[in-house]
Structures are given as C-alpha cells and as structure tokens.
Amino acid sequence: MVEIEDVLALTRKHAVEYLAGLETRPVGATATLAELRTRLNVPLTTTGTRASRVIDDLVAATDGGHLGSAGGRFFAWVIGGALPSALAADWLVSIWDNDAALYACGPTSAVVEEVAGCWIKELLGVPALASYAFTTGCQMAHMLRKSEAPTIVILDAADLNVGAVDPFPELIPLAKEVVVNWRRNGQEVERTLMAIAGILQWARVPYGRPNPYPSA
C-alpha cells in the first residue's frame, strides 16, 4: 500500500507541474517524431521496474510531445479543456477500474450514465422518453445518428464541462429541432446538424476557452 501512495503522490506532483505550465508552454508539440520514438521505444527487461521509476521515465520521455489541449490557447478540434472536478473524477474512474458496458460490470458507472442522460434531456427541453447515447467518438456518433430512432448523440461527454463558454442559447433550439424533425425530413435534420457544427466552429475559433488551471 505504501508504494501505491508514493506513486500516486508522485503522479499528482507531475500533473500539477504540467497544468501550472500550460500558460507558458508551447501549444504545439516541440519534440519530433524521431525523438519520441527514440525515448519511448526502450528495450524490454525481465526484471521489471519500480512504479515510481516508470512514472518518472514516462514523464521525461513524453516531454514536448503533448499538445496544450488542456489549456485555453488550444483551438484545434473540439477536445480538451476539462474542469478540475471532471479531471479529478476521471482519476477516480481509473482507480475504481469498472467496466461501464453493463450494470453487472459497473453498477455505479451505469447509473451515472443514466442520470447524466436525464440531465442532458432536461437541459435541452426534449421529452423524457427520448433516447440518448454517450459515444466513444465522432465516428460512432455518426453511425448512431443514422439510426431510425430520434436519439440525442453526445459526441464527447467530457467536452460538456466547457459549456459555460459554448453558445448554448443558439445550440439548444437546434438540438430540439433535430429531435422533433428526425422522422419528418432527413435532409432538414442534416442541415440542422450542419448548423450546429457551424456554430461550434464559430464559437471555438475567435474566443477559445479560459484556462481552468491558472498558473497564478
């Protein structure tokens, strides 16, 4: 148990140092592909390595190979920028190590997803009986969106944490329109979804997100 406490404390130290440098560190990666491959492709051993050494080596080997998507100066794609509470909760999810695919594999995880789906429907003002889905990414969201049932597709649950800077007054009416018109006119739904994508793109580029981890 002592080793677990030590390695988690060490990981916390590295994490806090990384977040504190987001404002000054380059947003793009500074390490080259060749450098990253050289650092990470180390020989396998037969004796194993201490957990603390694994973490230290991983941090050192990946230095300069991360995008600054956790900060407020990253404008590519709709990724990153989780709130501190969401980041900490993600750590706990990894520690609990449950599989949310079935209730039997992760009872709490299944109920959390259920409640989050109900909250989304309440926020959007759509019928309580509407179905919903948290997908693993954009491709799965597109596949689900093409099904016959009117389904609210949440592309990336983590990105909902930055809703305070997203144009929800424009997005919510459009989301309602998608659900109402799903069976009525497929082309109209397609145009509405494109409008949502356009609004998100417009919101991200000029404004971006405030850094939830200020260095000061």
Statement to judge: residues 54 and 127 lie in one domain:
no
Q: Examine residue 71 and state whether it is found in any structural domain, yes or no.
A: no
Q: Examine residue 20 and state whether it is found in any structural domain, yes or no.
A: yes
Helix, strand, coil in percent for the chain, rounding step 5: 55, 5, 40
Q: Is the dihedral of CA 79, 40, 45, 6 positive or negative?
A: negative
- The pLDDT tens digits for 106-137 are 999 889 988 988 888 888 787 888 777 777 76
Statement to judge: residues 114 and 189 lie in one domain:
yes
Q: Examine residue 216 and state whether it is found in any structural domain, yes or no.
A: no
pLDDT higher than threshold 50 for residue 183: no
DSSP strand E in the chain: where? 131-134, 151-154
Q: Examine residue 215 and state whether it is found in any structural domain, yes or no.
A: no
pTM: 0.64
Statement to judge: residues 103 and 53 lie in one domain:
no
Identify the pLDDT of residue 53. 94
pLDDT higher than threshold 70 for residue 13: yes
Q: Which of 61, 77, 110 is the last residue of a domain?
A: 61
The residues near 113 (Cβ < 8 Å, ≥ 6 apart) are 100, 134
Statement to judge: residues 54 and 115 lie in one domain:
no
- The pLDDT tens digits for 44-102 are 988 889 999 999 999 999 999 999 988 888 887 777 888 888 899 989 999 999 987 78
Q: Sorting pLDDT into bands at 50, 70 and 90, what band is 169?
A: low
Q: Examine residue 83 and state whether it is found in any structural domain, yes or no.
A: no
Q: What does each C-alpha distance from 214 to 23, 89, 122, 188, 205 come to in angstroms?
A: 7, 19, 32, 42, 21
Statement to judge: residues 54 and 101 lie in one domain:
no
Q: Which of 61, 86, 112 is the last residue of a domain?
A: 61
More confident residue, 111 or 159: 111
Identify the pLDDT of residue 204. 39
8 lies in which domain range?
2-61
The answer to whether the CB of 125 falls within 8 A of the CB of 172 is yes
Please state the domain count of the chain.
Answer: 2
